[in-house]
Structure 1
Amino acid sequence: MIKDKLLTDNPELLHYIADKLHITILGGIKLTGLDRLKVTLKMICTDNKQVTFRHSLDLYNYIQTAQLIERSAETLDVSTTDINLVIGQLITELENYRATYLESLKPKPQEIRKLTDAERKAALTFLKSPDLLKQTQAAILQSGIIGEETNAIIAYLIYTSRKRNTPLHLMCLGASGTGKTWLQEKVGELIPEEDKLEITTLSTNAFYYFGKEELKHKLLLIEDLDGADNVLYPLRELQSKRRISKTVTLKDSKGNMKTVTLNVEGPVCVSGCTTKEQLYEDNANRCILLYMDNSPEQDKRIMDYQRRISAGKVDQYEERKVREQLKNVQRLLKPISVRNPYAPYLNLPDAVFKPRRTMLLLLMFTETITYYHQYQRELKTDQDTGEQYIESTPADIEAAIALLETALLKKSDELNDACRTFFEKLKSWLKQNQTETFYSKDIRSILRITPSSMQRYLHELELMGYIKIVRGSRYKGFEYKVNSWNDLESLTNNTRQIVKDILETINAVVRNPTVTQTDDGLHKPQRTNKKKEVTQ
């Protein structure tokens, strides 16, 4: 007697061998849609191999399965009892095969690497550096990142926020070839492997089938948001609500329909790259935006580094050593609450668009800087709740504003980054040539801009009143004149004056607390007789 077995060597051509029947599943089975089991069967009776029965059906459909048993029994001259038994066993084997295969596709959880005493001591010494942000910025550059000093430290701090209950999110913006993916990838290499998940493309429902806590406090690196277009909605929900859920219907073992809710919990830190800021505006509103440096100076730095790499003049071992050190620094950071007693003094320029979310991002970024300095802060205890926390300092606020100065200016500018860059280059060229008017065909060739981009920029600038048409026609070309010469300077000065006033106010009403802690970091709770309040 032949023992029933399912042969799965070829996923597209499964074989099920029973005592009297040999069944081939043509095209295999679908791994998605667990509420159905659609197959195309080729059935042969071992007693008469000249007769073949083929049929396509859903094995979970009772009527279709009953018809299969009846018609195959008649064609193959086998009793319905035998076929019914074989089909039941086949369904069980296919379910087990699908479950096993799906389980094998799940990424195995990364083991948290334990630090040696030497590694822990080095990481702790690093975290206690008096000028921690400067030390971190220098280490990031030593890890192999060329240029983009400010963008790199901002990205590193945002990725650090994944350990908090309210993580930040990042979107890298820029034209094709300006280094968006490269920056995200290189800074991502400074995060421990067990804390990140790199994604190229995702199917529509992919996020809902992660384990309930599989994404918790993870960094999601999305190479190109165009490749994740199908999952932008659940991605936004993960960013805002820090959890997603989906209700689906499934059949139980008896064929009855039942409702099941799939829950995936965050929080997660999301980082993505795109050239289309306006297309992903809803996601961009939830992120800190980084604009890539596409200056000629940055091009030279990158090309020089590429030449030195090719010539073997870059110490890649030292770069890897620095990357490992920064990973160890990340592993040493612990969950701790952060409070910012100076938040009431923070204001945004009136020109900032969507001030509610911009203010939230600024506050969260300040808290992240405080969190990163946790080994240099006094650990306090709330006398009412017993919660332990650390407090932000004026230095944290000043560092946050200094790092996000460009981002805040972008939030205040009604022109997008590409159009603003074009406009500033245009004004610079006009000033050099001591003229106020220009033809698009002349500027296009000088600034090396495609006709479509030129047309889009001019239309946007004219629509917002930055330039106007003084003469010309659609056929001969239009002559344009600049209306606004100092808009960016005024915006920058106003923003910096507001920041200066905020910092002066904060420094006038507060004093830095004394730092007390054990040699091993945050292990010594500090209790006070009453709450300390900041008063003006």
Structure 2
Amino acid sequence: MATKLQIENAEQLIYENELLQLTVLGGIKIEGLDRMRITVKLELQESSRPPIRHNLDLYNDTQLEKFIRKCAEKLEIGTSVISASLSELTEELEKYRIERIKEVEQNLKLKIKQLNLAEKEEAETFLKSKDLLNKTNELIGKSGVIGEEINRLLMYIIFTSRQREQPLHVISLGSSGTGKTHLQEKVGELVPEEERVSITTLSENAFYYFGKQELKHKVILIEDLDGAENALYPLRELQTKKRIVKTIASKNNKGETQTKYLVVEGPVCVAGCTTKEYIYEDNANRSFLIYLDESQEQDEKIMAYQRQISSGEINFYEQKEIQGFLQNTQRILEPIRVINPFANKLNLPQSVFKPRRTNNHYLQFIEAITFYYQYQREKKYDKQTGEEYIEVTIEDIENANSLLKEILLRKSDELTGSCRNYLELLKSYLKLKKKKQFTALEIRKQLRLPKTSQWRYHKQLVDAYLIKKVEKKGKQTNQYQVTNEKEYKELETQIQTMLDDCLQDIKRSIVPKRSKAKVERSKVTKTAS
């Protein structure tokens, strides 16, 4: 009879030869290759003798020898027959375990979708279309992202940068219930499933136990940074150094202590949500900060969408189709170097805080847009290295300036995002009521704010001299007044002027080159004549 392990039932593995039948009850564990503990039922073929049941480690010689002698005595057969049968069983179980490990690993791996020719052509045609960013933004909206037109496109471009050697990162800020996680989740669904990792909570050492290249060029979506505080340090290291290493002590088979290195490599693109701006300052410095739209207009858009869902007017199948299409456009983007020939002429306003990092983010975002436009950019080759690259165009800079205007404005503001929102709502209220002065209670009731939040905002605003107390004789209630109603508009104008001036400078520098080239071509034509 040919030796064979019957594996139809994983909980009852049967091995037979001409003399014996060995049944492994309960199957075997596939983890821990340094041992093979089993519960075995051993019986003679075509015999009335009762079978022998025993649990042992097949890799433990002492246990094995005792078991062989016991079986030989009870079944009255030679020890060599039992020893040979157990040896053959061990080999079969080893093969079976290796196959099971491979099978489990394959199941854990996300299957990378292979695009057919029609899907590739459709994605390429879209990426070559005019007004690509606006068309992309329209599709993002149709995929189920309501409102947040600037923020959703910003986030999409940032997620696209994961394929580059210097990916960008983003943190969504806003009050509780404003849809931070929803925005991140819905835009994240436009990234191919095999290239994103969604995390709800993180332990301190969680990142160290990913595979060495398991996170490379992936988007890490952290639902709530408040639940991942202990993991923020390795996360920052992964963002900055693109590699984290941890040493741990463990014992080998001989009981000797040895040092192991846990290495996880990037680069990665990280996205997270929080209501607490100051707590995550170190992480925020490495990221684009997106402040969610908390306006009444955005509330109306969300509620209208909720009513459409309830009335059955939303086509969820169409949303899934659009998600799949945008994922396909991401799949055909290829890593390519981007060079910005205009970088030396791009300057940020002096009002921007932490200009070194912000300047780097600004330049990288322009490159990310060029990367997304790679099917519309001429491929060039480095004369020395032969490396392929594409160049930033004026259109890319204009698109970046349009999307980043609010980001740069916030980066130039000495107030936190929530405090700035409060001040602008306060200004709107005073303008509507044609008032100059106000009480804290009056505004708190109008904006429906908790007293502690308003107290925190007022402290910031008084320290920044953006509001001041007005004392009036005979009145116990404090009156306040806004010191400069136009300060934010002035800051916005300053930033816009700086960006426009840089663009005009670039355009002026290009025109003479084009004119010179035209003159040279004219001379060549006349000479030929």
| Category of TM-score, reference length = shorter chain | 0.7 to 0.9
1:432 aligns with 2:418: no
1:341 aligns with 2:373: no
Displacement of 1:117: 1.4
CA distance in 1, matches of 2:142, 2:104: 38
Give the equivalent residue in structure 1 for 2:399: 399
Give the equivalent residue in structure 2 for 1:148: 148
CA distance in 2, matches of 1:313, 1:390: 44
CA distance in 1, matches of 2:438, 2:223: 39
Displacement of 1:105: 9.7
Displacement of 1:432: 2.6
Displacement of 1:5: 7.8
Aligned in 2, Cα 1:337/1:116: closer, same or farther, shift over 3 Å?
same
Aligned in 2, Cα 1:320/1:4: closer, same or farther, shift over 3 Å?
closer
* Contact 1:200–1:224 under 8 Å retained in 2: yes
Displacement of 1:188: 0.8
Displacement of 1:6: 8.1
CA distance in 1, matches of 2:368, 2:476: 56
Map residues 252-271 of structure 1 onto 2, 5 A cutoff: 252-271=252-271
Displacement of 1:253: 1.3
Kindly provide the CA deviation profile for residues 320-349 of structure 1, in whole angstroms up to 9, marking residues without a partner as x: 111111011001101101010101011111
Map residues 89-128 of structure 1 onto 2, 5 A cutoff: 108-128=108-128
Displacement of 1:476: 3.8
Bigger radius of gyration, 1 or 2?
2
Kindly provide the CA deviation profile for residues 47-84 of structure 1, in whole angstroms up to 9, marking residues without a partner as x: xxxxxxxxxxxxxxxxxxxxxxxxxxxxxxxxxxxxxx
Kindly provide the CA deviation profile for residues 271-325 of structure 1, in whole angstroms up to 9, marking residues without a partner as x: 1111111111110111111111111111111111111111111122221111111
Give the AA of the match of 1:195.
E
Displacement of 1:142: 1.3
Kindly provide the CA deviation profile for residues 494-522 of structure 1, in whole angstroms up to 9, marking residues without a partner as x: 111101100101111237999xxxxxxxx
Structure 1: runs of 5 or more not aligned:
10-15, 20-45, 47-96, 515-536
Aligned in 2, Cα 1:107/1:287: closer, same or farther, shift over 3 Å?
farther
CA distance in 2, matches of 1:434, 1:312: 44
* Contact 2:436–2:482 under 8 Å retained in 1: yes
* Contact 1:140–1:152 under 8 Å retained in 2: yes
TM-score scaled by length of structure 2: 0.77
CA distance in 2, matches of 1:204, 1:5: 39
* Contact 2:438–2:481 under 8 Å retained in 1: yes
CA distance in 2, matches of 1:214, 1:408: 33
Displacement of 1:139: 1.1
Aligned in 2, Cα 1:18/1:374: closer, same or farther, shift over 3 Å?
closer
Displacement of 1:107: 8.0
Aligned in 2, Cα 1:372/1:511: closer, same or farther, shift over 3 Å?
farther
Give the equivalent residue in structure 2 for 1:360: 360
CA distance in 1, matches of 2:138, 2:434: 42
Give the AA of the match of 2:489.
E
1:331 aligns with 2:331: yes
* Contact 1:393–1:512 under 8 Å retained in 2: no
Structure 2: runs of 5 or more not aligned:
1-19, 30-36, 41-52, 54-96, 515-529
CA distance in 2, matches of 1:140, 1:436: 42
* Contact 1:379–1:390 under 8 Å retained in 2: yes
What SS does the corresponding residue of 1:477 show, helix, strand or coil? coil
Map residues 106-505 of structure 1 onto 2, 5 A cutoff: 108-471=108-471, 476-505=476-505
CA distance in 2, matches of 1:133, 1:122: 17
What SS does the corresponding residue of 1:313 show, helix, strand or coil? coil
* Contact 1:380–1:390 under 8 Å retained in 2: yes
Displacement of 1:183: 0.5
Aligned in 2, Cα 1:210/1:382: closer, same or farther, shift over 3 Å?
same
CA distance in 2, matches of 1:272, 1:156: 14
* Contact 2:410–2:417 under 8 Å retained in 1: yes
Displacement of 1:441: 1.1
Give the AA of the match of 1:375.
Y
CA distance in 2, matches of 1:292, 1:106: 40
Give the equivalent residue in structure 2 for 1:51: none
What SS does the corresponding residue of 2:481 show, helix, strand or coil? strand
Give the AA of the match of 1:212.
K
The number of residues matched between the two structures is 434
Kindly provide the CA deviation profile for residues 348-407 of structure 1, in whole angstroms up to 9, marking residues without a partner as x: 111100001101111110000000011111111111122110000011011001101000
Report the RMSD for the aligned CA atoms in angstroms.
3.0
Displacement of 1:481: 2.0
What SS does the corresponding residue of 1:362 show, helix, strand or coil? helix
Give the AA of the match of 1:483.
T
What SS does the corresponding residue of 1:510 show, helix, strand or coil? helix
Give the equivalent residue in structure 2 for 1:30: none
Displacement of 1:431: 2.5
CA distance in 2, matches of 1:479, 1:502: 44
What SS does the corresponding residue of 1:404 show, helix, strand or coil? helix
Aligned in 2, Cα 1:18/1:308: closer, same or farther, shift over 3 Å?
closer
Aligned in 2, Cα 1:3/1:313: closer, same or farther, shift over 3 Å?
closer
Give the AA of the match of 1:486.
K
Displacement of 1:132: 0.9
Kindly provide the CA deviation profile for residues 209-245 of structure 1, in whole angstroms up to 9, marking residues without a partner as x: 1111110001111111112111100100111111111
Structure 1 vs Structure 2: percent identity of aligned residues? 50
Quick check: which one's helix share is greater? 2
CA distance in 2, matches of 1:279, 1:107: 39
Displacement of 1:429: 1.8
* Contact 2:26–2:39 under 8 Å retained in 1: no
CA distance in 2, matches of 1:250, 1:315: 54
Aligned in 2, Cα 1:472/1:108: closer, same or farther, shift over 3 Å?
farther
CA distance in 2, matches of 1:512, 1:182: 49
* Contact 1:466–1:482 under 8 Å retained in 2: yes
* Contact 1:377–1:391 under 8 Å retained in 2: yes
CA distance in 2, matches of 1:192, 1:219: 10
* Contact 1:378–1:513 under 8 Å retained in 2: no
Aligned in 2, Cα 1:151/1:5: closer, same or farther, shift over 3 Å?
same
Give the AA of the match of 2:505.
T
TM superposition outliers: structure 1 runs of 4+ over 4 Å: 1-9, 16-19, 103-107, 511-514
What SS does the corresponding residue of 1:347 show, helix, strand or coil? coil
Give the AA of the match of 2:140.
I
CA distance in 2, matches of 1:7, 1:203: 33
Displacement of 1:484: 2.0
Give the AA of the match of 1:460.
Q
* Contact 2:28–2:38 under 8 Å retained in 1: no
Aligned in 2, Cα 1:105/1:425: closer, same or farther, shift over 3 Å?
farther
Give the equivalent residue in structure 2 for 1:58: none
CA distance in 2, matches of 1:320, 1:354: 41
CA distance in 2, matches of 1:137, 1:17: 58
